[in-house]
């Protein structure tokens, strides 16, 4: 079943964009873990829509209700289930074009896969709305990891062709990640951030959209986490990252650039400092043989432009079996990258917790 993931930490995600609500069940959490609900709320607000002119005007508070697995501020050891009510749907926006397959969306593939019984409103179960439950699960995982000294943070590396610098893959520290978490637009270079925001607004004015790249870092991971081949750190994280709608590329460390290097340049040479094994460079992103080596874990995720745009596009009408055009109406993000920052961090936390609990 597509909505279930994990071996040690099992997730089951449910709901549709315009249904009564969405949610997630997390199985495998140990009993007695103290969970700070206010910290979860902060993570949910980072992702929530309708906060500014850069995002969709659809306003959802993303307030969650824990239905099970939580008692007296601690996990019980039974499945932890959270429900998030949908309160601001405009389902009629999708009724008149329900037979028009929106380019870039899962309308056509979803119709084929589920024999036409899928909920087409707002993308249904395929919608980015379903990342809210992922953020809830990730916020829980983050708190568990933080107790172990593991910190996760990220920044907007690029929007369209406007880029800021990379993380310092060797010396990145917790302070930088904490500062980014408190920014509404998570960039290290505020001047570049303003350029990125202008690009998003220009796309919005032109009834178009833009994509971008998020870079994430995981600090103070113990050495020896992960496995070779099928359950490598890269495999687990990539599986989750590609489950996030609109992610079309993932790279670790130097990523695709490593293919242009010589072995003498790409290899991360070792040294010992205060009895700790480190590397001078971090082209492999803190992972060797699928296993953490103690250096910062660095990866990037590429997001495609939001497919819902107001420009006229060619498509098909599956009811009449004819070629036609469509102008997508409704409330949509001109760029989803700024709201996806906590989502990337969330799935990273879930994946790391899965590997640590193995």
Length of the chain in terms of residues written: 358
Query: Which tokens is 348 given?
Result: 């990273």
Q: Which position has the token pair 């004015």? A: 205
What dihedral do alpha carbons 172, 174, 175, 178 form, nearest 10°? 120
Runs of H (alpha helix) within the chain: 37-47, 92-95, 107-113, 131-147, 174-181, 190-205, 233-241, 263-266, 337-356
Pick out the residues of the known binding site.
47, 53, 125-127, 289, 304-308, 331
Name the residue among 12, 32, 141 with its Cα closest to residue 78: 32
Q: Round to whole Å and give the CA distance between 189 and 193.
A: 6
Kind plus residue range of the DSSP H or E element containing 20: none
Query: Which tokens is 241 given?
Result: 């990252």
Those residues with Cβ within 8 angstroms of residue 312's Cβ, 6 or more apart along the chain or in another chain: 325, 326, 327
What dihedral do alpha carbons 329, 333, 336, 339 form, nearest 10°? -140
Pick out the residues of the known binding site for FMN.
125-127, 289, 304-308, 331
| Three-state DSSP class for residue 263 | helix
Pick out the residues of the known binding site for NADP(+).
47, 53
């Amino acid at each position: 079943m597509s909505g279930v993931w994990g071996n040690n930490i099992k997730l089951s995600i449910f709901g549709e964009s315009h249904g009564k609500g969405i949610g997630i069940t997390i199985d495998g959490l140990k009993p007695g873990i103290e969970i700070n609900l206010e910290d979860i709320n902060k993570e949910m607000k980072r992702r929530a829509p309708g906060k500014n002119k850069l995002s969709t005007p659809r306003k959802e508070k993303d307030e969650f209700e824990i239905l099970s697995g939580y008692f007296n501020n601690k996990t019980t050891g039974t499945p932890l289930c959270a429900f998030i009510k949908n309160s601001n749907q405009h389902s009629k926006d999708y009724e008149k074009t329900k037979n028009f397959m929106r380019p870039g969306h899962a309308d056509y593939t979803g119709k084929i896969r589920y024999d036409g019984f899928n909920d087409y409103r707002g993308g249904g179960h395929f919608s980015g709305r379903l990342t809210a439950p992922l953020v809830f699960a990730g916020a829980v995982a983050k708190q568990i990891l933080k107790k172990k000294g593991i910190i996760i943070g990220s920044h907007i590396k690029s929007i369209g062709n406007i880029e800021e610098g990379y993380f310092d893959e060797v010396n990145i520290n917790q302070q930088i990640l904490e500062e980014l978490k408190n920014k509404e637009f998570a960039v290290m270079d505020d001047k570049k951030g303003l350029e990125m925001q202008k690009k998003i607004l220009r796309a919005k004015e032109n009834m178009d959209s833009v994509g971008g790249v998020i870079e994430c870092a995981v600090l103070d991971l113990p050495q020896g986490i992960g496995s070779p081949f099928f359950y490598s750190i890269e495999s687990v994280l990539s599986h989750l990252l590609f489950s996030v709608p609109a992610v079309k590329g993932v790279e670790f460390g130097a990523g695709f650039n490593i293919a242009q290097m010589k072995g003498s340049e790409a290899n991360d040479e070792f040294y010992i400092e205060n009895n700790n094994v480190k590397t001078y460079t971090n082209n492999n992103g803190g992972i060797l043989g699928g296993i953490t080596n103690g250096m910062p874990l660095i990866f990037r995720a590429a997001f495609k432009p939001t497919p819902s745009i107001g420009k006229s596009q060619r498509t098909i009408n599956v009811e009449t079996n004819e070629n036609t055009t469509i102008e997508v109406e409704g409330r949509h993000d001109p760029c989803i990258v700024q709201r996806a920052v906590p989502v990337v961090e969330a799935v990273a936390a879930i994946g790391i917790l899965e590997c640590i609990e193995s």
